[in-house]
Chain A
Amino acid sequence: MSASFGAFLPTLVRRERGSLAATLLAPPIALAVATILNLGLYVLMGRDPAAVVYAMLLEPLLSWASFSEVLLKAGPLLLIAQGLAIGFRAKVFNIGAEGQFILGAIFASAIPVWFPQATGQWIWPVMLLLGAAGGALWASLTAFWRVRLNANEILVSLMLSLVAAQLLNYLLLGPWKDPNGFNFPQSVMFQYDAMVPLLIPGTRVNVSLLLTIVLSIAAWIFMQKSFIGYKLKVGGLAPRAAGYAGFNQGWAIWLCLLIGGCAAGLAGAAEVAGPLGQLQRSISTGYGYAAIIVAYLGGLHPIGIVFSALIMAALYIGGDNAMVSANLPIAAVRVFQGSLLAAYLIAVAFVRYRLEWRRLAYRSQA
């Protein structure tokens, strides 16, 4: 095996047990690799890498004002990613959270748009509930198509996201456009009672962050401690075994999609009833897609996802900084997100495999 002649090829050899060290090291290593690759790209683009590092990676953490914005951004990412991760564990690939988020925002906006004069402390909680229902409703279309019509949930949920974006445009250019809004595609500003109360004075962080943390704990209990969570995980790891054990696959798909839809819809509602205060065209900035990366980077584990949501949120805020101070297009954030997930997927391969240098021996091993 260790003879040092002939052509050697790197070969992945399956470990008998997954490596805990690799599990824990994969996200930080992926972050480091993605950072180096992207800095290289910025240098090629003629930017000063030190300025980008400062603006993108350090500045978001250096002042309470910008860190509170990181917390604000982390909220929706965390919420959506927790919902998606439950599905991903069960091999239900809902990648339409973007559309479910938009529908949640639309459903929640119905109250302030239709009843702009309404007052009372009941308004924002009802809006959040409506948002969750809207997201679940949109996801239920995917669930129906998947379970009853056997259609691929990846494609259907994605197509529904594109439809949702058009629906939002339609409302904002048509029936829901603010008549006094100088023709901007946005709804009226919401009244005071339609806004989620602030949690930390002097910042824009509101009570929905608390809700998100509570739901993250609920996700942890659900996935790690409950029998249903266990059934979902078994269904994802060994669908046939789950079938023999009497676990109903169709039921699991419905459950996963509804949980994911509720979470994304809630996040959409919290966004319009929180920092935005109105329904706008740019309510999402790609949360639904970024949350997919957050879910994987967190190892699909409720606790890991908390950390990866914070990293991704910092990246968003850092991207805004870099746009101003290092003249870097905001698209750089998307490139960073994509390369981060790519690097993570390679890093995580070392959980299950170790690299060995083996002699090129093709036919003999077959």
Chain B
Amino acid sequence: MNGIEFILAGMLAAATPFLLAALGELVVERAGVLNLGVEGLMAFGAVLAFIIVYHGGGHLLGFVAAGLGSAALSLVFAVIAIGFRANQVATGLAIGILGQGLSALFGKTYESLTVKGLPKLAFPWLSEIPIFGRLFIQDAVVWLSLAATFAIWAMFAHTKTGLVVRAIGENPKAAHAIGYSVIAVRFAAAAFGGAMAGFAGAYAAVVYTPLWADGMIAGRGWIAIALVVFGTWLTGRIFLGACLFGAVSLMGLAAQATGLDVPSQLLASLPYLVTIVVLGIISADRRLLKLNGVASLGEPFEH
């Protein structure tokens, strides 16, 4: 398998944790809330899923537990930041630290243990195309996360729910005045974002690299938040960004496999360095950020 085939084969799977968490954060931010706790929410979901799968509960139950657990933790964020109108940056950091701490605490006795991943399912016909066919051999969660991407795009583009969420992010006062509950929608968005971060963590811990290690999320939650900015709050661009980061995180492995003499630490920092560079490039175009940005992002709502 050459380098391109290697990256095509693994890119979508590597992109999935970024994608799921970023889609969740997209919905949260569209509702006007900045939740910086994604890294901790992912870690919490990851450990819950790992414990359940390790004890024979199966992947489905593992994902359900991760989704519910991280949604619950995200609701704690909502109570503090939306209910009590605390600084959203500080609250997100608190929840992030809490989630990472809880994951280390619960995962302590599972350190370095492994579970079985998920089988790959080939898309009929398409998977037989030479070279590119590899893109169509993926596990069930990758297929589902593609469906989720489409569903969230459709929600924002074509449904009233999407419109309400966007209105609340743009102008909460106006949305409140015409009778929508800003607080309730923001709580729901936070819970949804938490569940998606939980799924993302579960994917990392029980499918992508089915082993538990403290700190295994390794900044992916933060990159997911950056992806929302890269994607200028648009679903399709966030998907492309996630694929880019899937490919970047594989480039390290590919370079090592070909025997390239590069320090492994440099390869490990590649996703972070790429994040810094891309963030600079995208943000420098202020008009682009303003165009699709969320007007009330990070501001508490008081009526």
Known A-B contacts A338-B98, A338-B99, A341-B97; the reply to A155 vs B222 at CB < 8 A is yes
Residues of A contacting B273 in the complex (Cβ-Cβ under 8 angstroms): 159, 163
Other-chain residue from A155, A346, A365 in contact with B279 (beta carbon distance below 8 A): A155
A341 & B275 in contact (Cβ 8 Å cutoff)? no
B265 & A150 in contact (Cβ 8 Å cutoff)? no
Q: For the complex, give the distance between the alpha carbons of A149 and B277 in Å.
A: 10
Indicate if B257 sits at the interface (CB-CB under 8 A): no
A337 & B225 in contact (Cβ 8 Å cutoff)? no
Q: For the complex, give the distance between the alpha carbons of A348 and B99 in Å.
A: 22
Residues of A contacting B289 in the complex (Cβ-Cβ under 8 angstroms): 150
Other-chain residue from A160, A329, A348 in contact with B108 (beta carbon distance below 8 A): A329
Residues of B contacting A151 in the complex (Cβ-Cβ under 8 angstroms): 276, 279-280, 283-284
Q: For the complex, give the distance between the alpha carbons of A362 and B179 in Å.
A: 8
Q: For the complex, give the distance between the alpha carbons of A337 and B94 in Å.
A: 8
Indicate if B129 sits at the interface (CB-CB under 8 A): no
- Number of CB contacts from chain A to chain B under 8 A: 151
B86 to chain A, nearest CB (A): 4
List residues of B (84-121) whose CB comes within 8 Å of A's CBs: 84-87, 89-91, 93-102, 104-105, 108
List 10 tightest A-B contacts by C-beta distance, closest first: A338-B98, A334-B101, A331-B104, A335-B101, A338-B97, A341-B94, A345-B86, A349-B84, A170-B265, A149-B280
Indicate if A118 sits at the interface (CB-CB under 8 A): no
Q: For the complex, give the distance between the alpha carbons of A329 and B40 in Å.
A: 18
Residues of A contacting B303 in the complex (Cβ-Cβ under 8 angstroms): 365-366
Residues of B contacting A154 in the complex (Cβ-Cβ under 8 angstroms): 36, 89
B283 & A162 in contact (Cβ 8 Å cutoff)? no
Q: For the complex, give the distance between the alpha carbons of A69 and B284 in Å.
A: 46
Q: For the complex, give the distance between the alpha carbons of A93 and B87 in Å.
A: 12
Known A-B contacts A145-B279, A289-B97; the reply to A152 vs B269 at CB < 8 A is no
Known A-B contacts A14-B302, A335-B98; the reply to A159 vs B272 at CB < 8 A is yes
B18 to chain A, nearest CB (A): 14
A332 to chain B, nearest CB (A): 6
B86 & A152 in contact (Cβ 8 Å cutoff)? no
One digit per residue, 1 when the CB lies within 8 angstroms of any chain B CB and 0 when it does not, for chain A 264-298 equals: 00000000000000000000000001001100100
A346 & B283 in contact (Cβ 8 Å cutoff)? no
Q: For the complex, give the distance between the alpha carbons of A346 and B48 in Å.
A: 27
Number of interface residues of A (CB under 8 A): 49
B104 & A156 in contact (Cβ 8 Å cutoff)? no
Of the four ranges (under 10, 10 to 19, 20 to 34, 35 or more), the interface on chain B belongs to 35 or more
Known A-B contacts A345-B80, A345-B84, A345-B91; the reply to A162 vs B272 at CB < 8 A is yes
Residues of A contacting B100 in the complex (Cβ-Cβ under 8 angstroms): 334, 338
Residues of B contacting A225 in the complex (Cβ-Cβ under 8 angstroms): none
In the complex, the chain A residue whose C-beta lies closest to that of B302 is A14
Indicate if B229 sits at the interface (CB-CB under 8 A): yes
Known A-B contacts A166-B269, A167-B265, A293-B97; the reply to A160 vs B276 at CB < 8 A is yes
In the complex, the chain B residue whose C-beta lies closest to that of A144 is B280
Indicate if B291 sits at the interface (CB-CB under 8 A): no
One digit per residue, 1 when the CB lies within 8 angstroms of any chain B CB and 0 when it does not, for chain A 71-85 equals: 000000000000000
Q: For the complex, give the distance between the alpha carbons of A341 and B95 in Å.
A: 9
Indicate if A192 sits at the interface (CB-CB under 8 A): no
A12 & B97 in contact (Cβ 8 Å cutoff)? no
B105 & A332 in contact (Cβ 8 Å cutoff)? yes
A145 & B101 in contact (Cβ 8 Å cutoff)? no
B113 to chain A, nearest CB (A): 16
B86 & A155 in contact (Cβ 8 Å cutoff)? no
- Given pairs A145-B280, A163-B269, 18 additional interface contacts (CB within 8 A): A149-B281, A151-B283, A152-B283, A155-B275, A156-B279, A159-B273, A159-B279, A163-B272, A163-B273, A166-B265, A166-B272, A167-B265, A174-B263, A335-B98, A337-B97, A338-B40, A345-B90, A349-B84
